[in-house]
Structure 1
């Protein structure tokens, strides 16, 4: 199959590259022409617009920063899309937006599958990111080879909307874990412990988490560079709080974490790296959390 891939940011470029390395035919586009260089070097065809992608490809994948941009791209794609085109949406979009946009696409004969991912850009670069699919099972089965090229753990969560819910849940947990990780490392530092040893001890303990192993290491390096910003974190936490209200589930930890992210945005700006919520604590206590031997980027 010939896939069109629209949106070559940190995540999208890596996922598109995985498709190309698996020998698939891919046409790509992005607002930034330079963003397509790596994919084109791997054999992708460049298109100058989403409509041009839709006209040439069998099926379309999008990986975009917001629901509003997803809808703008969809509006450009639909008039040019071939009959029976499938639209695979990898952006983090609310469940309500997924259902609304799927209905809009269906009026043009385009079927939608949601495919949010989790695990981080470094795993996307390795083709090992976790993929959370929602939509009709026949679509999932048809595109499974492409999904397996991009990720090593692929879950069909159920009908459209299901993947949006679980993606929000996983991100909510990651943000809470990051806040807890920062507080734990600060306790270790103020308690006089060697932070490198403390990090390794936590990693080997019942208190370990994926976030501690990854973003915790970036905090100790001082780069905080996880390729995911504070505005995106606040978007996802907003989705989580909306589900909490809808399903009448008190989300005390998520609410506290949301307030911390809001404070970090006020201090450092929305484009600052999301682990910089830990820097708030460092600044407050005038205590840096640094240790030798930790990476500035995850690989």
Structure 2
């Protein structure tokens, strides 16, 4: 099959690269030509617009920052994708957006498979990210080889919309863990502990988490460079709170963490790294959380 990939940012670029490395025929497009040229060096075809993919692709992946961008790209795809083609959406969308956009695609004869990913950009770069798929079983099986190219663990969560729910749940947990990890590291620092040893002890304890073991290193390095912004964190927390209202589940921790991220965005800006949320506490107590031996970026 010939795949298109639209949206080659921090995440999408790595996912497209994994498809290319696995031997799939891939044509890419991004508003930033430099992103596409990097993948051209790996063997990708390059389109200079979404419309220029016409006749060159059978199915299209997208990874875009917000639902409006996904809808705009879908509108262009529907003008040329053949009936029965698949739109595979790697972006994080709310369930309502998934169902609404799937309905729009269906009108144009295009079927949708949602496939948001989780685990971090570093795992996407290695082709080891987790893929959460939602949609018809036959579509999932059809594109399973491509999904297995971009991720090492693939879960078919059920019908359309189900992957959106679990992805929001995983991100909600990650942001709660991030704020909690900052508080834990600050307790260690103010208690006079060596932060490198404290990090190692937590990582080996029942209190560890994926966030501690990964983003905790970027905090202690001081780079905070997780390639995920405050704005994106707040978008996902908003989805989580929306599900809480819809399903009648009080989300006290998620609500408190959302307020913390709102403060973080007000201080550092929406484009700041999401891990800089811990810097609120560092700045308030004038106690930087730093230790030697930790990477600037996750490998």
TM-score of the aligned structures, taking structure 2 as reference length: 0.99
* Within-5 A mapping of 1:204-283: 204-283=204-283
1:86 corresponds to which residue?
86
2:111 corresponds to which residue?
111
Partners of 2:216 and 2:126 in 1: how far apart? 20
Partners of 1:53 and 1:237 in 2: how far apart? 34
The worse-fitting range, judged by mean Cα deviation, of 195-204 and 37-46 is: 37-46
Q: Shift in Å at residue 218 of structure 1? A: 0.2
Q: Shift in Å at residue 82 of structure 1? A: 1.6
Partners of 1:41 and 1:114 in 2: how far apart? 28
Give yes or no for contact 1:55–1:82 (8 Å, CA) kept in 2: no
1:28 corresponds to which residue?
28
Q: Shift in Å at residue 56 of structure 1? A: 1.7
1:245-270 per-position Cα deviation (integer Å, ceiling 9, x unaligned): 00010100000100010000000000
Query: What secondary structure, in the 3-state scheme, does the structure 2 residue paired with 1:27 have?
Result: strand
Q: Shift in Å at residue 37 of structure 1? A: 2.1
- The structure 1 segments of at least 4 consecutive aligned residues displaced by more than 3 Å after TM superposition are none
Give yes or no for contact 1:105–1:111 (8 Å, CA) kept in 2: yes
1:53-79 per-position Cα deviation (integer Å, ceiling 9, x unaligned): 244201010000000100011111111
1:132 corresponds to which residue?
132
2:176 equivalent to 1:176: yes
1:186-234 per-position Cα deviation (integer Å, ceiling 9, x unaligned): 0000000000000000000000000000100000000000000000000
Partners of 1:37 and 1:218 in 2: how far apart? 29
Partners of 2:177 and 2:279 in 1: how far apart? 15
TM-score of the aligned structures, taking structure 1 as reference length: 0.99
2:76 corresponds to which residue?
76
Partners of 2:298 and 2:219 in 1: how far apart? 12
Query: What secondary structure, in the 3-state scheme, does the structure 2 residue paired with 1:68 have?
Result: helix
Partners of 2:54 and 2:196 in 1: how far apart? 50
| Gapped regions of structure 1 (runs ≥ 5) | none
2:148 corresponds to which residue?
148
1:47 corresponds to which residue?
47
2:5 corresponds to which residue?
5
Query: What secondary structure, in the 3-state scheme, does the structure 1 residue paired with 2:11 have?
Result: helix
2:63 corresponds to which residue?
63
Between the two proteins, the alignment pairs up a number of residues equal to 299
Q: Shift in Å at residue 38 of structure 1? A: 2.2
Partners of 2:26 and 2:179 in 1: how far apart? 39
Give yes or no for contact 1:54–1:82 (8 Å, CA) kept in 2: no
1:20-77 per-position Cα deviation (integer Å, ceiling 9, x unaligned): 1011100000000001122111100000111222442010100000001000111111
Q: Shift in Å at residue 84 of structure 1? A: 1.4
Partners of 1:171 and 1:50 in 2: how far apart? 30
Partners of 2:281 and 2:232 in 1: how far apart? 21
Query: What secondary structure, in the 3-state scheme, does the structure 1 residue paired with 2:217 have?
Result: helix
Query: What secondary structure, in the 3-state scheme, does the structure 2 residue paired with 1:74 have?
Result: helix
RMSD of equivalent CA atoms = 0.6
1:157 corresponds to which residue?
157
Partners of 1:151 and 1:267 in 2: how far apart? 35
